Structure 1
Amino acid sequence: MTDFAGRLAEVRLAVMMLTRLPVSHLQDPAPSLAKARWAYPLVGLIVGLIAWGVHGLSLWLGASPTLAAVLTLGSVILTTGAMHQDGLADFADGIWGGHDKARRLEIMRDSAIGSYGVLALILCCAVWVAALTQLGGQAGMLSFLAVGVLSRIAMTVCSATMPLARTDGLGVLSSGGDTSWMLWAGLAFVAILMLGWHGVIVLAVVTLVATLVAAIARRRIGGQTGDVLGAVQFLSETSAWATLAMLAG
């Protein structure tokens, strides 16, 4: 397999991993998730483009800003298979529902959702929708692309820097591999340019949110899991939209 074909296979694997979009089967030898991790932020471009399309079409068809925001969040959830929302719910249940590390990890692995998870999802989705409602037509394509990329850079950096909390799961499968700092920094710079001077503030807020979630995970369970990474992505994305809404208001 040539270098280009290998990189293309890694991008396709990243899309398969982070979305429910139809991607043809990979030929053997298929790359590992660890090798495909560098491409995770690129998936944000795809998700952001779909979300922008749904948002713009909804407004064009006469939907209110609130309805358009709800439909847009629904499109994001459908595109990603609710992976990040599920991670946030499991993270909230485990981190605050267990009395020690072992119990917290056990709760996070349980498919059932508890009160902490429900409340975390309700609050986060409400902020997401309210922020996009406030922005309305001001949320253009570049905003959707930038938010999609920055939130997934935050998730990917946490994957590259945090210790593992357990010896199995998606967090383990995505660990190791290339640490493409230059690529991620370049994508972050482009995302900032997309947002103008607001981009610097959005990047600072996303960095702060991701750092806080990572610090809580380190203290309560000893590091990262797939649920932690999902929580980082969705909380970062929500905080980015909230920041843009407050700056615009």
Structure 2
Amino acid sequence: MFNSDTWFPKWGDIPAAIGLLSRLPLRVDTQQALARGAHPSWAFGLAGAVIGALAALVAWMGLMLGLPSLAIGLLVVGTSAWITGAIHHDGLADSLDGLWGGWNPKQRLEIMKDSHIGVYGVVGLICTLGLQAALYGQLATQNLWPILGVMALSRAMMVPLMTALPNARGKGLSASVGRPATQTAFMAVILGGAIAAVSGAWPALICAPLGALAVAATAKRKIGGQTGDILGASQQCAETCALIGLIALL
């Protein structure tokens, strides 16, 4: 069911989005946030930009200390995971275990719900985080600003997935937030894309949607929709693809 009645953005949506996607100590009007449902998701890109700004600040400190590029990249990835509580990384690991470890939708959803991590999740996290660290490290030595754009757009990419795909489980964080209206998804993508373009991360406008689309297509085929874990996996894939595009094209 779409949350589309009397939709319009509010300033309170911004701290609500940041509070949902991070552990930053912000004062959020919980009652208003719950009443708004999925509407605050238009600000997911802004939340990503805040996370990216803090990660870029840490990268700048690494540059000032003369650290090697890989160490700086690891600092960026670690800072992002710390600020967000590794919520998206957890979603990636659970999605990999479930989508490729089960034989039918019900079994895959049960595996994704399990808090234990399997071999698919371990290998996927190692490869993804290692690749991100190497790419962020190289990017930081060239320009710090695109870090904001990558983290903003990759989080904005979750919103159209929430709109386009039904919730596969019917409960959990994704289901409790609700299904954003089309205009919410449109605004989220436009805002995230604008931040990416202004920050110099324009290749991400092409590559980030491809990563999110790949996850969406796989989830639709294997479990019939999305879950909170799938959204986390889409963010991580969008972020990684955006970084690959940046390093390849800039």
TM-score, L = length of structure 2: 0.89
Q: Which residue of 2 aligns with 1:19?
A: 22
Q: Which residue of 1 aligns with 2:222?
A: 220
Q: Deviations over 1:157-189 (max 9, x none)?
A: 111111111110112122234432452343244
Alignment partner of 1:63 is 2:67: yes
Distance in structure 2 (CA, Å) of the matches to 1:12 and 1:79: 14
Q: Which residue of 2 aligns with 1:152?
A: 155
**Distance apart, 1:10 and its partner CA:** 2.3
Q: Which residue of 2 aligns with 1:206?
A: 208
Alignment partner of 1:172 is 2:175: yes
Q: Which residue of 1 aligns with 2:231?
A: 229
Higher mean displacement: 179-188 or 72-81:
179-188
In structure 2, the CA distance between the partners of 1:25 and 1:140, relative to structure 1 (3 Å rule), is closer
Q: Which residue of 2 aligns with 1:246?
A: 248
| Structure 2 contact 157–189 (Cα < 8 Å) conserved | no
| Structure 1 contact 47–79 (Cα < 8 Å) conserved | yes
Q: CA RMSD in A?
A: 2.0
**Distance apart, 1:28 and its partner CA:** 3.9
| Structure 1 contact 132–245 (Cα < 8 Å) conserved | no
Q: Deviations over 1:191-211 (max 9, x none)?
A: 353255x61x32221111111
Distance in structure 2 (CA, Å) of the matches to 1:7 and 1:185: 17
Distance in structure 2 (CA, Å) of the matches to 1:88 and 1:104: 14
Equivalent runs, 1:36-55 vs 2, <5 Å = 36-55=40-59
List runs of 5+ in structure 2 lacking aligned partners.
1-5
Q: Secondary structure at the match of 1:130?
A: helix
Distance in structure 1 (CA, Å) of the matches to 2:177 and 2:81: 22
| Structure 1 contact 160–175 (Cα < 8 Å) conserved | no
In structure 2, the CA distance between the partners of 1:188 and 1:35, relative to structure 1 (3 Å rule), is closer
Aligned residue among 100, 107, 123 for 1:103: 107
Aligned residue among 8, 11, 19 for 2:11: 8
Distance in structure 1 (CA, Å) of the matches to 2:216 and 2:238: 12
| Structure 1 contact 13–33 (Cα < 8 Å) conserved | no
In structure 2, the CA distance between the partners of 1:147 and 1:25, relative to structure 1 (3 Å rule), is closer
The count of aligned residue pairs is: 241
Distance in structure 1 (CA, Å) of the matches to 2:110 and 2:126: 23
Equivalent runs, 1:93-132 vs 2, <5 Å = 93-132=97-136
Alignment partner of 1:133 is 2:142: no
**Distance apart, 1:7 and its partner CA:** 2.0
In structure 2, the CA distance between the partners of 1:235 and 1:27, relative to structure 1 (3 Å rule), is closer
| Structure 1 contact 132–139 (Cα < 8 Å) conserved | no
The percent identity for this pair of structures is 37
TM-score, L = length of structure 1: 0.90
Q: Which residue of 2 aligns with 1:184?
A: 188
